[in-house]
Amino acid sequence: DNIFRLVPKVENSFDIKIDDVDFDLSYIQELRSGYDDTSGDYLKSYNLELDLLKDKMKLVKEQGEEMKKSMRDKNLGINELQDLEEQLEDNALAYASIGSAIKSAEKAIVDFNKRIEENIDKLQEEMADNIIEQLKKAVNKAKDIAIDAVDDLIEKEEERHEKVMKQYDNELKAYQKLIDSKRREINDSDRDRTFDNTIGKLEEEKQGYQSRLNAISGINTFDAKKEREELQKQIAEVDEKIAEENYQYEKTLREQQLDDLLEQKEEEIEVKKETETESHKLLVKSLNKQKEAWQKYYDDLLDNEKLFADMREMILQGNFDGVEQMFMQHVSNLTFQLPELEAKFQSTWDAVAQGIRT
């Protein structure tokens, strides 16, 4: 682990190597002072210290052998021999001291394991409570996923329904605009016709006056001629009225036809909107029932004290596979009901399973 990373050693002499080991030992011991005496880091620090002490013992032993070799292989003076003898004595003391330190570290490890064994029941209880708490949190999270999924479906359905209704309104508006355009064409045609007829009548009236003036200026008037002219005029007036009546009747029929088409379209759109609204209500009602069902499912699951008590007992017995299998069954049930959320459900339970394993 990074917290136990030791500083690089300078391996150019026994003293430097031993100093490096001593530094690492001091570093390990300083770190350990901040650890709880029941933690894994606390035990790991003693294991590292024991390895370092063994390394140091080996170096001290090799250093002593090197001193003895120097005394045998070299032609040394009395003072130098005395210095070597003193160094050998220090070396032996150091070797013995390291042996004591190793025994102390080994004893500390034994004491740690004994202390852990004495507290194992308490630790198992705490672990079981922690895992159960994680499982309940996972259930709550899965509950939120399921409820949010249904809420999302309801929201999307509301948006779809609103869009469809707007499309129907726009369709009706477009049709209304088309009808209005047709009406405008009829009104424009009627306006032009009325204008042309009025001008025509004025022209005819003017021409009649002119003709009458011409007739008077050259021909004498007789009663028979007068009566015949009067009858022709009346007949012309009747024909004109008949033509006008026919026109107005046809105009009315065309307008009525447009009104009928518009009314028919309005009824068609209304039926579509009613059908859409009814379908929308049924779907939202179904989704809300589904939401209530998921709410009840998870609430019942969280209130099932026997289920969690059985799981707790499994955990205390070390039957983690049984606990994992039981909750994986819930994952299968959920993904069968909501397959589109399989990845979310699976990641939630995988996190719980990982917590159980560790």
Show the CA angle centred on residue 225, arms to residues 221 and 228, nearest 5°: 150
What average pLDDT does the segment 172-186 reach? 82
Beta strands in 288-348 (DSSP E): none
- Tally the C-alpha atoms within 13 A of residue 72's C-alpha that lie toward its C-beta: 6
Show the CA angle centred on residue 174, arms to residues 189 and 258, nearest 5°: 45
Q: Which two tokens stand for residue 94?
A: 């150091």
Which residue has better confidence, 210 or 61?
Answer: 61
User: How far apart, in whole angstroms, are the C-alpha atoms of residue 266 and residue 250?
Assistant: 24
> What are the pLDDT digits (tens) for 327-345?
777 666 666 566 655 565 5
pLDDT-based confidence at residue 16 (cuts at 50, 70, 90): confident
What average pLDDT does the segment 14-27 reach? 88
Which pLDDT score, from 0 to 100, does residue 136 have? 79
pLDDT-based confidence at residue 201 (cuts at 50, 70, 90): low
pTM over 0.85: no
Which pLDDT score, from 0 to 100, does residue 336 have? 59
Which pLDDT score, from 0 to 100, does residue 6 have? 36
> What are the pLDDT digits (tens) for 284-342?
888 888 888 888 888 887 888 887 788 788 877 877 777 777 777 766 666 656 665 55
pLDDT-based confidence at residue 132 (cuts at 50, 70, 90): confident
> What are the pLDDT digits (tens) for 48-83?
989 998 988 898 888 888 888 777 765 666 777 777
Give Cα separations from 145 to 80, 294, 296, 300, 350 (angstroms). 82, 10, 14, 17, 15
Among the residue ranges 25-34, 223-232, 272-281, the one predicted with the least confidence is 223-232
User: How far apart, in whole angstroms, are the C-alpha atoms of residue 15 and residue 82?
Assistant: 19
What average pLDDT does the segment 132-153 reach? 81
Q: pLDDT over 70 for what percent of the chain?
A: 73
Which residue has better confidence, 21 or 7?
Answer: 21
pLDDT-based confidence at residue 8 (cuts at 50, 70, 90): very low
Q: Which two tokens stand for residue 338?
A: 């909501």
Please report which residue ranges of the chain form alpha helices under DSSP H.
14-32, 40-73, 78-118, 120-218, 223-303, 305-316, 320-337, 342-357
